[in-house]
């Protein structure tokens, strides 16, 4: 009896605890939406965070909760978006893919004001007198955008300027966010013409520091047949809703600050 009683007591307690846990697991279980796993498998899995969510799983959860729209993820392919829309019972508008364009063509053509020794990071360099370049608007050339690109779509070229591989670029916008000079913008991939300069200095001041900068001469504005380009604050700006890629602005630009995407 001395052995039997403890065994019975422990067995009874185990049975009670087991029944309690089984009951609690049923009552307190968090019900998961069966659509969640299906949506997650269709997302790219890049976990780039460009949508503002904690990875693709977080985006899928917010998507099901109606907190974000499907367009918040720029990385997902159109075919996958269509499948996700079916799961959600929604329709989506097909939009042209956007890719990152660099609005600077200075690089080695722009001299340094001082020799920089320190952390090779554009954000850090920009904190020191707005960077080492004579042009205060131009690329600093330390490749921070290369490091943050989750798709390996950016590399440093021979002119010490970032080069975007448009086949790899998903338009996530990480380079747009990290660049301290705000030199990247997302432009429809169907657009071939872009302004490779961000300087708002007067023309004479731009010429003193960079041979390929926009001088605000307005020749591009005058020849554009669809009024798609206008000079604002000494810098040519293109309206991509109007631009037809005719290239007239590229032809007349005296400093070659307007380029055709290659």
pLDDT in tens, 112-143: 999 999 999 999 999 999 999 999 999 999 99
Give the residue from 203, 251, 209, 210 showing the smallest Cα distance to 229. 251
Same domain, 189 and 237: yes
Encoding tokens for residue 34?
Answer: 């069966």
- For residue range 58-114, what is the model confidence (pLDDT) as tens digits? 888 888 888 888 878 878 887 888 888 888 887 777 677 899 999 999 999 999 999
Domain count, the chain: 2
Same domain, 102 and 209: yes
At residue 2 the predicted structure's pLDDT band, cuts being 50, 70 and 90, is low
57 or 130: which carries more pLDDT confidence? 130
The radius of gyration computed from the CA coordinates of the chain, to the nearest angstrom, equals 28
pLDDT (average), residues 179-206: 95
- The answer to whether 49 and 55 are in contact (CB under 8 A) is yes
Region of 216 (left: φ > 0; alpha: ψ -120 to 50; beta: rest) is left
Same domain, 219 and 185: yes
At residue 10 the predicted structure's pLDDT band, cuts being 50, 70 and 90, is confident
pTM of the model: 0.77
Check whether 29 has a pLDDT greater than 60: no
Check whether 188 has a pLDDT greater than 80: yes
β-sheet bridge partners, residue 259: 194
Print the domain residue range for 47: 35-88
108 or 36: which carries more pLDDT confidence? 108
pLDDT (average), residues 187-209: 95
Does residue 222 lie within any of the structural domains?
Answer: yes
Same domain, 177 and 78: no
Predicted pLDDT at 179? 98
Does residue 245 lie within any of the structural domains?
Answer: yes
Same domain, 218 and 139: yes
pLDDT (average), residues 146-170: 95
């Amino acid at each position: 009896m001395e052995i039997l009683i403890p065994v019975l007591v422990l067995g009874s307690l185990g049975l009670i605890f087991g029944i309690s846990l089984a009951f609690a697991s049923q009552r307190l279980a968090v019900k998961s939406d069966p659509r969640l796993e299906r949506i997650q498998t269709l997302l790219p899995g890049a976990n780039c965070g460009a949508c503002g969510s904690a990875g693709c799983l977080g985006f899928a959860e917010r998507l099901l909760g109606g907190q974000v729209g499907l367009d918040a993820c720029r990385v997902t392919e159109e075919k996958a978006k269509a499948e996700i829309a079916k799961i959600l019972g929604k329709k989506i508008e097909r939009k042209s893919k956007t890719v990152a364009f660099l609005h600077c063509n200075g690089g080695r053509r722009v001299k340094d004001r001082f020799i920089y020794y320190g952390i090779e990071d554009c954000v850090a360099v920009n904190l020191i007198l707005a960077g080492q370049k004579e042009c205060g608007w131009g690329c600093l050339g330390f490749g921070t955008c290369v490091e943050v690109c989750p798709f390996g779509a950016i590399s440093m070229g021979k002119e010490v300027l970032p080069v975007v591989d448009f086949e790899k670029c998903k338009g996530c916008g990480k380079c747009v966010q990290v660049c301290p000079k705000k030199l990247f913008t997302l432009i429809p991939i169907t657009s071939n013409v872009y302004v490779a300069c961000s300087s708002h200095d007067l023309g004479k001041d731009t010429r003193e520091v960079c041979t390929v900068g926009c001088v605000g001469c307005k020749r591009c504005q005058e020849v554009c047949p669809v009024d798609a380009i206008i000079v604002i604050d000494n810098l040519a700006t293109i309206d991509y809703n109007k631009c037809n890629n005719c290239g007239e602005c590229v032809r007349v630009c005296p400093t070659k600050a307007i380029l055709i995407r290659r």
